[in-house]
Structure 1
Amino acid sequence: MRISYLCPLSLCLPLAGLVAILSPAVLVLTIQVLTAQGQEPTSPAPLQLRVLSYNIHHGRGIDDQVDLERLAKVVNDCHPDLVALQEVDNRTQRTDGVDQTAELARLTGLHAQFARQIDFEGGQYG
């Protein structure tokens, strides 16, 4: 089962660093265990992680329309494992109080986490 996440860039960068640090350690440990058991280590399957970074400009496209369904389609068409969104509005006046994080999670089927950068127009922006 594949679980994907929507998260702000400020949370994704530490996660990417953790993966980069732990991957070689897991490989070395696996080789050491196999060698200790008298088995020849084999090449591990390549690890692939598809990351999408996307500045959504609070959902507004070049046609000046806020369209979260269109954004969700772009995200889904990329088949990402991890999505880092920037400029997301949560319950601001300019987006009619919509929790864009929750709405995009619903539309994409991904799990979501929002990190506020500033308070903005009665809501949060991140």
Structure 2
Amino acid sequence: MTNIEDSIKKVLAIKSLGISLSLDDFGSGYSSVFYLKKLPLDQLKIDQTFVQNVLIDQNDAALVKSIIDLAHNFSLEIIAEGVETEEQRVFLINHGCHAHQGYLFSEPVAEESFVQLSYLKKKFPNRP
């Protein structure tokens, strides 16, 4: 068995436990469309390097739009990493990406702070 076959077998075992799987930093490093075809993914996360320049670089904008379309074609939830401005968020929404993470929403927080923020969000759902 090759390394990729072994990896796919392990990922399928994890998925069978009911755990959701995301492919992080898509578009950078060794990310491949092959993984979209072979792995039982739930989410695809667009690498922040493309999101950060989406408003000023036509190539990044085209790439982000293509990744969003690709994710939709595979019935994956799409998440944009590194969203820092309202204009980036609007661009992403207008092109079908409705889940975002980045400094526009919060700086990285410790586990305790995350739990507290989650509690407050549940208690006051209409609060920003």
TM superposition score normalised by structure 1: 0.36
Q: Which has the larger radius of gyration?
A: 1
Higher helix share: 2
Between the two structures, name the one with larger relative contact order (CA 8 Å, sep ≥ 6).
Answer: 1
